[in-house]
């Protein structure tokens, strides 16, 4: 009896709590007996998302939608009745579960405005909002029988999938709002293609507006910012047996969403806790080159160039007038017919030149390629394309394989970094001419560099000789100087190019080497350091004074050399004494004769 009373008490408390939730405007599920009214919201268990009736600013319509609960400004991520809004004055509308187990949005006159329209074999169904943002309908037999993730509007949430099932024909695409205040389906849609490899697209109606390029199992290679270090959590799942290709994002560490705007911008937003705001992570297109086919067939777009469009080498604009007026949509055409396409009697001759392939690097690969599954390397890919005249270009991407193109090359873009190599078939003559032009440019550049280097060398040599000649001229002007002037080459020969084996020692003013002149005379060669502060006048005085002074301990000066920056003195070599003792072991005595002139005498004391 006590147990029964206790159980009944708990039931009463539970019912009161449920009633309290309904009264306060918060619900955690929708049942056939507990619908959702305009003054209530359905909240996920973790209070991350909420579903309810909403009216946009400046609008007179009312919708059922889902948004992040506690993040302001809030973003509506899903709308149930975007094509059939309720008047905002209808306060008797409700979202309920009908007798057939389907979710139904009813207006005040009990008319069905929107319904899930699924089959259920259960007598009881329940609708809940998950923390993933998925609004699901569950029954007691199959579990989840419908979810809002299966019917996306303009926004992709983590774990949600968009794509196509080619077997059933079902497409799950993001479709933009008509305007910021009207969730009615707009002109732009975003989804995946079912080709191999799959590509991400945004369409304006049925016309391609933006293309993300081929999926290489880790990234879309047509998006330059998706480099090798890219790790967004976005992934593509392709099951060829089931005929499905889906694109999703698996990130649980941050709040984020991707949506297609009314203007066609595909944007990824993430929540920054520090800024307490939604920040943009990425958007496309973000420049003119990213708009599909800006430069037309066989045209290449580079946003860093001016103008941004150019033709592939071997191609010319279809209309120079339009091209010059910056209208590039008609693109380019071949300047010369391909050799493999020429229908002449000599076409089978071995003398006929073959087509070549022009390499283009750092490229966004063109649209409408074909994947050749049974080719394992780049050489095979090239061979296949070369042997098929219909093959206009090929590319081998290690993470994809061999791709070839037999249609017009459209939506080509040149990246400053990243990108892939594309090889375009061109006539042999044009390819050769282009290579010849490249060779000429390269050789001209190299020749210019060599000429400049020679010019600088000759100039430096001339300036050095000019300086040396000036010093020699100053010394020769002194009639009292009677010493032999030696060439620098003769001193190099005498000292074995100043080899370490000839070196006698080193002091503050330079190094001393033992040398042997052509006449067999042995000399000590004092090579003044280039860092020596001794100028021409001091050097001249040293030569004059040492050559005239006589002393038993003074080494006799026999010659000198001045060439360029070189200042060299040649002394007699004394075999009975070490020259380093004479030159480095003694102190220098400087005698300043201020009464006559300022000059110095270098004298060696024992």
| Residue of 588, 590, 592, 593 whose CA lies nearest to 604 | 588
Locate tokens 């007996």: which residue?
33
| Whole-angstrom distance, CA of residue 37 vs CA of residue 545 | 117
3-state secondary structure 138-179: EECCCEEEEEHHHCCCCEECCCCEEEEECCCCEEECEEEEEE
**Longest distance between any two alpha carbons in the chain, whole Å:** 141
Sequence ranges of the binding site for ATP? 526
Exposure of 591 in the CB half-sphere (CA atoms within 13 A): 12
Q: What 8-state DSSP symbol labels residue 349?
A: S
Q: CA-CA distances (angstroms) from residue 527 to 59, 496, 595?
A: 95, 14, 32
The tokens for 322 are 């339009």
Sequence ranges of the binding site? 526
Q: E-assigned strands of 508-565?
A: 510-516, 522-528, 557-563
Q: What 8-state DSSP symbol labels residue 388?
A: -
Go through 29-66 and write b for each residue having 16 or more CB atoms within 10 A of its CB, e for each that does not.
Answer: ebeeebbbbbebbbbbeeebbbbbbbbbeeeebbbbbb
> For residue 394, what is the enclosing H or E element?
strand 393-397
Sign of CA dihedral 319, 324, 330, 331: positive
The tokens for 227 are 């480099």
Asked whether 249 and 238 are in contact (CB, 8 A), the reply is no
Q: CA-CA distances (angstroms) from residue 606 to 14, 274, 548, 555?
A: 117, 83, 19, 12
Rg (CA), the chain: 44
Q: What is the CB neighbour count within 10 angstroms for residue 139?
A: 18
Q: Which residues contact 312 (CB under 8 A, 6 or more apart)?
A: 298, 299, 300, 332, 358, 360, 409, 412, 424
**Which conformational region is residue 14 in: left (phi greater than 0), alpha (psi within -120 to 50 degrees), or beta?**
alpha
């Amino acid at each position: 009896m006590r147990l029964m009373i206790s159980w009944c008490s708990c039931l009463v408390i539970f019912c009161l709590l449920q009633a309290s939730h309904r009264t306060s405007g918060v619900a955690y599920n929708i049942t056939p007996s507990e619908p959702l009214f305009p003054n209530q919201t359905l909240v996920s268990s973790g209070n991350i998302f909420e579903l309810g009736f909403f009216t946009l600013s400046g609008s007179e319509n009312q919708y059922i939608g889902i948004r992040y609960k506690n993040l302001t400004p809030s973003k509506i991520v899903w709308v149930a009745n975007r094509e059939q809004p309720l008047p905002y004055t209808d306060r008797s509308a409700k979202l309920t579960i009908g007798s057939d187990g389907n979710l139904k949005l009813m207006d005040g006159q009990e008319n069905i405005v929107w319904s899930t329209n699924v089959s259920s074999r259960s007598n009881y169904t329940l609708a809940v909002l998950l923390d993933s943002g998925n609004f699901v309908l569950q029954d007691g037999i199959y579990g989840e029988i419908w979810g809002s993730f299966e019917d996306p509007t303009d926004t992709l949430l983590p774990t949600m999938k968009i794509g196509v099932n080619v077997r059933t024909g079902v497409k799950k695409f993001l479709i933009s709002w008509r305007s910021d205040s009207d969730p009615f389906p707009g002109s732009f849609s975003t989804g995946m293609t079912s080709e191999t490899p799959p590509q991400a697209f945004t369409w304006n109606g049925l016309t391609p507006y933006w293309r993300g390029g081929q999926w290489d199992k880790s990234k879309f290679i047509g998006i330059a910012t998706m480099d090798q270090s890219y790790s967004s959590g976005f992934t593509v799942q392709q099951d060829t047996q089931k005929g499905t290709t889906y694109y999703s994002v698996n990130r649980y560490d941050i709040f984020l969403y991707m949506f297609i705007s009314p203007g066609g911008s595909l944007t990824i937003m993430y929540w920054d806790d520090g800024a307490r705001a939604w920040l943009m992570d990425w958007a496309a297109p973000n420049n003119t080159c990213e708009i599909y086919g800006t430069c037309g067939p066989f045209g290449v777009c580079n946003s860093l160039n001016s103008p941004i469009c150019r033709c592939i080498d071997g191609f010319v604009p279809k209309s120079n007038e339009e091209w010059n007026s910056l209208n590039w949509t008609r693109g380019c055409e071949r300047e010369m017919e391909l050799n493999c396409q020429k229908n002449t009697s000599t076409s089978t001759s071995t003398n006929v030149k073959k087509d070549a392939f022009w390499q283009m690097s750092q490229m966004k690969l063109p649209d409408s390629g074909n994947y050749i599954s049974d080719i394992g390397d780049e050489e095979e890919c090239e061979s296949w394309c070369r042997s098929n005249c219909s093959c206009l270009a090929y590319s081998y991407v290690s993470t994809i394989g061999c791709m070839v193109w037999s249609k017009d090359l459209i939506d080509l873009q040149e990246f400053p970094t990243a990108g892939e190599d594309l090889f375009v078939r061109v006539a042999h003559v044009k390819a050769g001419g282009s290579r010849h032009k490249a060779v000429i440019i390269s050789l001209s550049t190299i020749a210019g560099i060599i000429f400049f280097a020679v010019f600088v060398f000759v100039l430096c040599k001339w300036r050095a000789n000019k300086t040396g000649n000036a010093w020699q001229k100053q010394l020769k002007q002194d009639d009292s100087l009677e010493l032999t002037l030696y060439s620098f080459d003769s001193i190099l020969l005498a000292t074995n190019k100043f080899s370490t084996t000839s070196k006698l020692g080193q002091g503050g003013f330079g190094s001393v080497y033992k040398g042997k002149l052509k006449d067999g005379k042995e000399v000590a060669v004092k090579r003044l350091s280039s860092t020596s502060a001794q100028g021409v006048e001091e050097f001249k005085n040293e030569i004059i004074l040492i050559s005239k002074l006589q002393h038993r301990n003074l080494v006799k000066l026999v010659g000198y050399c001045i060439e360029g920056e070189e200042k060299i003195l040649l002394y007699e070599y004394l075999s009975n004494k070490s020259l380093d003792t004479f030159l480095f072991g003694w102190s220098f005595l400087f005698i300043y004769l201020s009464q006559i002139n300022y000059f110095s005498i270098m004298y060696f004391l024992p």
